[in-house]
Structure 1
Amino acid sequence: MLMVKNSDGQDTDNVDTLITPESDPLLPVNNTDGQDEDDVDAPITQEHINHARLCNALTTVCSNAMREILLINVPLPHTDIYKAILANEARLKKQLNKDQVKLVFPDPQGLTTGKVEEFDTSLLYAIIRNVSSVPAPSNGWGKPPNDNPRDTTLGACVERIRIYRNHISGHSVDGKISQQEFEDYWAKIDEVLRDIEIVIGNHGYLEDLKKRTNQAITPHEARELQKTFQEYRKQTEGK
């Protein structure tokens, strides 16, 4: 269990503890000479760091796992995912917003697509759901998968990542998540990555997540991740 302790050795779980580069060795001390005011590393709390670490895990480890799921589930008769995307252009465009359409179909002639490496979890979810050969979860797309018994199919894993992303983006207004929530979400992300590795093989996603548990997050990085998830929240409002 991850804890923040004060100078007396007492647990400060769920307390809005002020974290600075001097008080937390995980926060590097940056030279702010010549930086704009918005880029100066102002003090942040442990709750800000919790939110940023979850955002980081979703935008890196989870995105990479979803990307591999997409690439290994190309629907027949297509030979690669890019051809499958082009073949489903009309259908897919109905599911995407304007920015996503530009990212997936940057060529006005419709001859090429964007790079899968540039697609975020939201876009990967839409393509997996509408283009790939990944079967729908037992409860169907857009619904929480069964937990008892647990649905461990790739479709259920993709759906859970979408749900976790939406829940965490709901915290993006203030960019804070309590220690207990952080540990709960981290355990859920660990579990879904474990399910994925069982199906597709151990490709290092769990190990990557473990390395990020206590990864240093600067205040600037925390703010940028918060902005990213604020955009996610806007995209999912009303859905």
Structure 2
Amino acid sequence: MEEKKKRPAIPENVKRELWIKSGGRCEFRGCNKYLYKDGVTKQPRNLANIAHIVSWTPTGPRGNQNSEKLATDISNLMLTCSEHNNLIDDPRYVEMYPVELLQQYKREHEERIYRVTGMGQEYGVRIIKMFSKIQGQVSIIGDKAVSEAIMPYYPLESDIIIDLTQVEDVTSAQKQIERAVDLHIKSNSNEESYSVFIMAKIPYACYLGYALGNKVKSVSHQFFRDTQDWKWRDGEFGHFYVSKPK
């Protein structure tokens, strides 16, 4: 009986390089799961799979005559979570993930990690989140959506939160906004830059803009309901026009 071939061992230096290039995150497009922490216990744990783009055997998923040569080549390896490792090799779906597409996933992910980790401190911005009840409801401003909206900048460690959910009138809201701005922003001698995200009543939002003034380096972001995100888009304001009286 023919002995079953074993998957070639991937050298430790190749593993280390792949972990560094991937940032320890799943390289499947849209996943980005951090692979060295348990999602429930938060304890350190290696959850990564090293997936082959071209299978290490010619008869495997996307395998070909070069399979053996590519078995331990870093250009042919992706760091993935177990879910997406199984997905791309599943016989039912393997045709949906050809070599060229997986190579594109890997290239995009590793270029993004290289670019983001190469940013200097000047790319750090402080996030201001302000929210209140709107028609009795409170909307959440998610951290992931914020991080995506401010790219290529990155959020500094602690956010400035202005919680107006218990405020019932404009005067009380103004006082709370003023306290937050005086405490966290105007007293800051480091002259930080700010990105502002608001899910609050319009008068509250207007007053925050007034309180910040034109001396604070800040950029405001709008929530777009059609795409459910905060990303500004080119040409978004083509529907505005100026009408001058005769």
Greater share of helix: 1
Work out which structure has the larger RCO, using CA pairs closer than 8 Å and 6 or more positions apart in sequence: 1
Greater share of strand: 2
TM-score using structure 2 length: 0.22
TM-score using structure 1 length: 0.23
